[in-house]
């Protein structure tokens, strides 16, 4: 609940790339709707983006940076500038590739972005390790006669820029809709009973598949409701030991004392202990 002393700010959410991060801007009274193309002010000059969050109010304390304004809705003249900016990006990539060869820099160019006025260009590249590209920036800026920034990207961001088709047959998640990369771990694959072979749980970037995280929380919560493998349980068919579980079906495979293996709904299984198998019947001591 918002208290009277908490300041509210008018904001609009703008995205610059298809699966890029959403940034907040001050709509400054301009009537905007989702999918409107706008020109906004950024630290790199005027940039064109698309409205993905309609104007709304949020608590000022939730903003991490000072709000920059929306300059205007996109005009036909702006679209002409966009074409010029695309040409400047291609020119920057070509010149950068030539200068990198000249300076013997082991880099791979992955893309470029220019602002609307074509006076600021950012070039993205990947490399095996850290690269001293200061000389490259100076020479590239002198050739292009604009401000130049080089940005080294990691394996995930590199794949996001390049795009592609995943093993599922669909466009890569990172290039389609993921706006940020969340931490992933081998534990997620274990909890989902997936193969731990690197080639089967790694994406095109060589890192763990992003989709490992989609159902990880569901599997974790469901496993809390299922008996552990090896647990001693009782079922409507008798006591036994859990030999496997199926999270999606919410069932457990139980080996009964008769050695028969049955699949039982989790709701019908009661954990007796975390033992090591069915309890053996006690035997009377022999008389000597």
Where does the pLDDT of residue 273 fall: very low under 50, low under 70, confident under 90, or very high at 90 and above? low
Q: Output the pTM of the full model.
A: 0.73
pLDDT at residue 2 in the model: 52
CATH number attached to the domain at 79-153: 3.30.300
Mean of pLDDT values over 29-41: 94
Where does the pLDDT of residue 277 fall: very low under 50, low under 70, confident under 90, or very high at 90 and above? very low
May I ask the CATH architecture of the domain 226-273?
Roll (2.30)
pLDDT at residue 91 in the model: 94
User: pLDDT digit string (tens) for 138-150?
Assistant: 999 999 999 999 9
Mean of pLDDT values over 180-202: 91
279 pLDDT more than 60: no
Q: What is the DSSP string of the chain?
A: ---TTS-EEEEEEEESSTTPPEEEEB-TT----TT-EEEEEETTEEEEEEEEEEEEEEEGGG-SSPPPBEEEE--HHHHHHHHHHHHHHHHHHHHHHHHHHHTT---EEEEEEE-TTSSEEEEEEE-SS----HHHHHHHHHHHTSEEEEEE--HHHHHHHH--B-TTSSB-HHHHT--SPPP--HHHHHHTT----HHHHB-TTSSBPGGGGTSHHHHHHHHHHSPPTT-EEEETTEEEEEEEEETTTTEEEEEETTS-EEEEEGGG-EEEES-SSSPPPP-PPPP-
- Domains of the chain, residue spans: 8-74, 79-153, 157-213, 226-273
């Amino acid at each position: 609940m918002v208290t009277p002393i908490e300041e509210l700010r008018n904001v609009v959410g703008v995205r610059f790339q298809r699966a890029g991060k959403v940034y907040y801007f001050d709509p400054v009274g301009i009537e905007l709707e989702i999918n409107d193309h706008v020109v906004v002010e950024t630290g790199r000059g005027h940039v064109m983006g698309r409205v993905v969050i309609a104007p709304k109010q949020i608590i000022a304390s939730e903003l991490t940076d000072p709000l920059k304004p929306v300059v205007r809705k996109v005009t036909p003249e702006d679209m002409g500038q966009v074409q010029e900016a695309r040409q400047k990006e291609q020119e920057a990539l070509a010149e950068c590739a030539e200068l990198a060869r000249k300076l013997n820099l082991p880099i791979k160019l992955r893309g470029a972005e220019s602002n609307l006025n074509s006076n600021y260009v950012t070039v993205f590249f990947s490399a095996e390790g850290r690269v001293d590209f200061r000389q490259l920036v100076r020479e590239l800026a002198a050739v292009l006669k604009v401000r130049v920034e080089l940005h080294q990207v990691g394996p995930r961001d590199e794949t996001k820029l390049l795009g592609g088709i995943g093993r599922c047959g669909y466009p890569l998640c990172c290039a389609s809709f993921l706006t940020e990369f969340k931490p992933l771990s081998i534990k997620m694959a274990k909890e989902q009973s997936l193969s731990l072979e690197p080639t089967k749980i790694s994406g095109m970037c060589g890192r763990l598949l992003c989709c490992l995280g989609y159902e990880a929380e569901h599997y974790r919560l469901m496993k809390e409701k299922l008996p552990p493998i090896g647990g001693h349980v009782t079922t409507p068919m008798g006591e036994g030991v859990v030999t496997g579980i199926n999270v999606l079906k919410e069932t457990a495979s139980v080996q009964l004392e008769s050695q028969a293996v049955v699949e039982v709904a989790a709701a019908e299984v009661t954990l007796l202990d975390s033992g090591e198998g069915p309890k053996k019947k006690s035997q009377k001591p022999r008389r000597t």
